[in-house]
Amino acid sequence: MDVIETWSGQHAAALQAAMRATNEEFARLLGVAVRTVAAWHAAPATVPRREMQRALDTLHEKATPAERRRFAALLNPGAEAQAQALRVAIAIVVRDRDVLLVCRRGEDALSWQFPAGVVKPGGSPSAVAVQETLAETAVHCTVREHLGTRVHPATGVLASYELCEYLAGEARNVDAVENLDTAWVPINSLTRFIPEQSIYPPILEALA
């Protein structure tokens, strides 16, 4: 059985998919909140905390041979199965000339990202984008335009990008477990928070 030296959100999501577990079932197996599992899907590069690393190790060790084979296949960044198993809605929320970001916690680093959440089978990416923005930041928004969908080149997750318009609410960090902060960032300073090469090109075009 392969050993995972450092678990990431991508690894955890792949293990969940290999076990064919829902977010609720996977959260119960690990003893965490469902939102923690959803955050791993939304932020594949996140590194869970040390105690969660140990819990994932234990769950991995208990996996059946078939689950371990599926897990190994899903870790291939180009695996079509992973893209089908995991779908994430990403909200690009604009207010005047600012865009909304959240600062996600990792064991060794922090990263600024757009609000995002997992789309369940049959779910609507636009609805998830609106719901997750409210759940993470207390900001109400509405989807203005679907910017596109792609299989993320690094993670294999199917990502749907939704351009959203701010409606109401004062931005604050509602999910203090997964996020350190939330902020409105000037659009012309966005690449100081997220590297330009990591941003889906239609986002930059829409914000230009």
What is the residue extent of each domain of the chain? 9-83, 84-207
pTM over 0.85? The answer is no
pLDDT digits over 69-124, tens only?
Answer: 888 877 765 544 444 457 899 999 999 999 999 998 765 567 899 999 888 888 89
CA 14 to chain centre: 13
84-207, superfamily in CATH? Nucleoside Triphosphate Pyrophosphohydrolase (3.90.79.10)
Retrieve residue 80's tokens.
């079509």
DSSP 87-119: EEEEEEEEETTEEEEEEE--SS--EEE--EEEP
**Residue 122 confidence (pLDDT):** 80
What burial letters (b/e) apply to 173-207, b meaning 16+ CB within 10 Å? bebeebbeebbbeebeebeeebeeeebbebbeebb
Is the pLDDT confidence value at 126 over 60? yes
**Residue 76 confidence (pLDDT):** 66
Of 5, 6, 48, 4, nearest to 30 by C-alpha is 48
Is the pLDDT confidence value at 2 over 70? no
- Identify the burial level of 82 via C-beta atoms within 10 angstroms of its C-beta, where 0-12 means exposed, 13-18 middle and 19 or more buried: buried
pLDDT digits over 29-79, tens only?
Answer: 999 888 888 888 888 888 888 889 999 999 999 888 888 888 887 776 554
